[in-house]
Amino acid sequence: MYRSTIPSVSGGFEICNFIGTDIVYLIKTRMFAKFIEYISFFKIVLSPLLIGIICGFALYNYFDGDRTGSILFATCTLAGLAGGIIWAVKISRKTGATTFIAQKDASPDITDAVSDRHKKSPENSGPDLF
């Protein structure tokens, strides 16, 4: 471990650890990874919540906005929220929310179409530029 002494503003000497910059970088990357994980978790929770809100709104309008409609709207919304949280926790424990969202956002149809096009054309003997 390499340490150097640098005079501080207060007149004393501080010991600076140059490995400390690596630790700060590591903390920042972990914070960014956690932030992305939280966003992915929120995306997973959002889909059942929106389904619950839409169903609740339909029931609210069916009952002409009276007390029964309001109770059913709240019940559907809370059920969607609870279902979304349970589902997101299960996914986070199993594969990770970020991995799950990345797999769902990937489009294998396009990947397969591009790879099939390259396999079929005989003029693709040179380097692949695109």
Instruction: Provide the pLDDT for residue 31.
Output: 83
**Tokens of residue 47, six digits:** 């889909």
Task: Report the C-alpha gap between 59 and 71 in whole angstroms.
Answer: 10
- How distant, in Å, are the alpha carbons of 57, 117, 119 from that of 129? 51, 14, 15
pLDDT per position as a tens digit, 12-24:
444 555 555 666 6
Q: Are strands 3-7 and 13-17 parallel, antiparallel or unpaired?
A: antiparallel
Predicted TM-score (pTM) of this structure = 0.61
pLDDT per position as a tens digit, 36-80:
889 999 999 999 999 999 999 999 999 887 899 899 999 999 999
